[in-house]
Amino acid sequence: MKATLAIQRGSPGEPPRIETFEVGFEPGQSVLDGLRRLRAEADPSLAFRFSCINANACKECMMLIDGQVGYACTARLKEGVTALAPLPKKALIRDLVSEIAPPDERL
Amino acid sequence: MTLKQTGRLTDTPTHIETDVLVIGSGAAGMYAALEAAKAGAAVVLADRSLIGRGGATVMAQMTVAAALGEQTPDHWEHHLSDTLGAGRGLCDERLAALLCEDGPRRLREMDGWKVGWAREDGHIKQAQAPGHDRPRCAYVDFLATGPAVSRTLRSRLIAAGGVRRIGDLLIVDIAVRDGEACGATALHLPSGRIVTMAAKAVVIATGGLTGLYRRNSASSNMAGDGYALGLRAGAELIDMEFVQFFPIGHLAPRLVGMDPIMWDPFRYKLGGKLLNAQMREFEQDYATADGRSDGRYVLTRDLATYAITKEVEAGRGSPAGGAYLSFAHVPEAEIRGAFGPVVDRLAANGIDLARQPVEVAPIAHYHMGGLRVDQTLQTRVPGLYACGEAVGGANGANRLSGNAITEAFVFGARAGRSAALRASQSVADWQPEAAHAAIDLLRSATKRDAPNLAAIVVELKAIMADMAGPFRTEAKLRSAAEAIERLKAEVGGVPISSVATFDPVLVDWLDLRNMLLVAQSVIRPALARTESRGAHQREDFPTVDDTWSVNQTVALSNGEIQLGRSAVIAGRAAA
């Protein structure tokens, strides 16, 4: 099966652009599985946060998935288009990465 | 090939001064930071991920072993005896004794900090886990031990003060001057800037190396950073050939939102059955080879891993390439009682245990090897300490279940205190030259046509899983060594960058620099050890050889790996 990921990319100060990727998947795989596969197969410069991969323990992969705040590691890939964007109320760092660290845990 | 400097790396580095720098914010790093601050040191706690989110601790869903004597009378010497037994003659007894003797104190300290150990009849409930002679393992219900530990320690850090916590900070190299650790050079991921840090003592708490393997139970950032940092700083590694595989890691159907090693406590409680493709129990077929068993299990972890691997090789594996784990013989109400709310999380993944088995297969779980330290947790590099899974020696050839979080607490606390003591006896004397090599390396990064490094990471993990996994032969290990050499050539000695901020390509390059060195540090001693012991199983040398009752060490000399041998340290340290 194929999923289409429409990903909002870019850095602060530049107009965001939507880039669209097709990625193969097995039923049950997560959006994070798809993003990791995209990096290895298509564009290694794509930036997104994750740490625990699978367990929903680190809570780092939070992003906007089809307009809703969610975790890429628990949202499932589906056929058709899935829109991904950084969290809207956090400062953008790049692509899907936003500043989610508490202020006193930053440099 | 286009060459272009990346902007931010050339900015003047940000400089930070502190007494103690702790690298890694799992349980070991957070405990080290707390103890160092308690001893009066100014502390920086740095993590490449967010504070308290990455590493292995947050993923640990199971138990914490200590001779609390709450469930049944116990003494730490009994715990030590089980730990040494599991280690198959290779434990550093000083470290193992420290773990077992100090464990109860740390678990009680955590209890006072309201971690929430499960209780029964007014006492801390201790479960019997494989390899222990009595119920010794505390836990937090249900599958919440690791997150509860992380949250508790982070809250203490915030409340205690004295620790500056900095996330998104990737340590590139330890700064060394006159053979002593004096700080570190780092890449700040969000800004893409270089950070230099002066510290009178540095503590490596970066966890293990299971991220080198395709299927593993740790976070993505646990790929042996600390071992490579230590090696390049002049420290020695020990027991690097011993990678623990957990036999029944979840394989299929795709399970999201849960740790892949979650099945063990349930299998233990409910007697889950391991079945092959013919839906036949096969563990008994492998039990005669070795009389040992783990309590209620037919086979120990290493033998269960062997049995599943052999069934798959014989064409009797499950569709995804493992074994079935079935609870279909257990009444539904009993499943609900044991799994609690986890039943609903499984249902969300389309899994109904009363009706269908799941597929499981061995998964890289823990590294017994690591940085060689003395009883103050200092490496052979003055000022450089290690704690938690990053340390080698305490668990020998095989770790007893429940010892990983205990060692994180105990070694973390001890390393933090030792580092603070050293800092209190030193004067600040930062020489920027100590960071020059690492700064030059980062500034040499270029955007250029290069192989996809994310794909090389995937390839490296496959090589390690297939050629340097739980069952090894000389031929497989040699082909792994050759493949690593080829990947090293592809990755090259000059960093690759793609963008100015949060650059995953530069991070992959820096990771591969570490991962390839650490992979070699596993393969070399694995090739040399021509016997099977604990987690190191050689199909071409299937039995224990008493002449191999020695530890192997790995060090770097002029950039080349040097293998050494060292008599096992028996006897205790003064606590």
Per-residue pLDDT tens, chain B, 575 aa: give them. Answer: 333 444 589 899 999 999 999 999 999 999 999 999 999 999 999 999 999 887 888 887 778 999 999 999 999 999 999 999 999 999 999 999 999 999 999 999 999 999 999 999 999 999 888 889 999 999 998 778 999 999 999 999 999 889 999 999 999 999 999 999 999 999 999 999 999 999 999 999 999 999 999 998 888 889 999 999 999 999 999 999 999 999 999 999 988 888 888 888 788 778 889 999 999 999 888 875 544 445 556 677 778 888 999 999 999 999 999 999 999 999 999 999 888 888 888 998 889 999 999 999 999 999 999 999 999 999 999 999 999 999 999 999 999 989 999 999 999 999 999 999 999 999 888 999 999 999 999 999 999 989 999 999 999 999 999 999 999 999 999 999 999 999 999 999 999 999 989 999 999 999 999 999 999 999 999 999 999 999 999 999 999 999 999 999 999 999 999 999 999 998 875 44
Percent of chain A with pLDDT over 70: 100
The answer to whether A77 touches A100, Cβ cutoff 8 Å, is: no
- Taking the C-alpha atoms of residue B244 and residue A12, their distance in angstroms, rounded to an integer, is 44
Q: How many helices and strands, by DSSP H and E, does chain A display?
A: 1, 7
Name every residue whose Cβ is closer than 8 Å to that of residue A104 and which is 6 or more positions away in sequence.
B165
A51/B219 CB distance under 8 A: yes
Which residues of B are catalytically annotated? 301
Instruction: Please give the full DSSP string across B498-560, using - where no structure is assigned.
Output: -SSSS-HHHHHHHHHHHHHHHHHHHHHHHHH--S-BTTBEETTB-S--GGG-EEEEEEEETTE
Look up residue B37 and give its amino acid: A
B 77-106 residues inside an 8 A Cβ radius of A: none
- Taking the C-alpha atoms of residue B463 and residue B472, their distance in angstroms, rounded to an integer, is 12
- Taking the C-alpha atoms of residue B129 and residue B64, their distance in angstroms, rounded to an integer, is 10
pLDDT in tens, B16-63: 999 999 999 999 999 999 999 999 999 999 999 999 887 888 887 778
End-to-end CA distance of chain A: 42
CA distances from A95 to A19, B187, B507 (A): 10, 19, 16
pLDDT in tens, B253-303: 988 888 888 888 788 778 889 999 999 999 888 875 544 445 556 677 778
Shortest CA gap B50–chain A (Å): 6
What stretch of H or E contains A85? strand A80-85
Instruction: Please give the full DSSP string across A14-39, using - where no structure is assigned.
Output: S--EEEEEEEE--TT-BHHHHHHHHH
Q: Which DSSP symbol is given to A76?
A: B
pLDDT at B395: 97
- Taking the C-alpha atoms of residue B84 and residue B131, their distance in angstroms, rounded to an integer, is 11
Q: What are phi and psi of B154, to 5 degrees?
A: -65, -40
- Taking the C-alpha atoms of residue B111 and residue B117, their distance in angstroms, rounded to an integer, is 7
- Most A CBs within 10 A among B47, B50, B458, hence the mutation to make, goes to B50
Please check whether residue A26 touches B, CB under 8 A. yes
For A26, the token pair is 């097995």
Compare CB distances from B53 to A40, A51, A54 and report the shortest one's residue. A51
ipTM of the complex in this document: 0.98
From its phi and psi, is residue A62 left (phi > 0), alpha (psi between -120 and 50) or beta? beta
Would you tell me how many other CB atoms lie within 10 Å of the CB of residue B141? 14
pLDDT at B221: 85
**Pure H helices in B328-388:** 332-339, 342-348
Compare CB distances from A60 to B49, B258, B502 and report the shortest one's residue. B49
What SS3 state is found at B331?
coil
B51/A101 CB distance under 8 A: yes
- Taking the C-alpha atoms of residue B524 and residue B561, their distance in angstroms, rounded to an integer, is 8
Would you tell me how many other CB atoms lie within 10 Å of the CB of residue A67? 9
**What pTM value is reported for the model?**
0.95
Mean pLDDT of A35-56: 93
**Pure H helices in B240-386:** 263-270, 283-287, 301-313, 332-339, 342-348
- Partners of B500 on chain A (C-beta within 8 Å) are 11
Residue among B210, B401, B214, B247 at smallest CA distance from B323: B247
Compare CB distances from B256 to A45, A73, A95 and report the shortest one's residue. A73
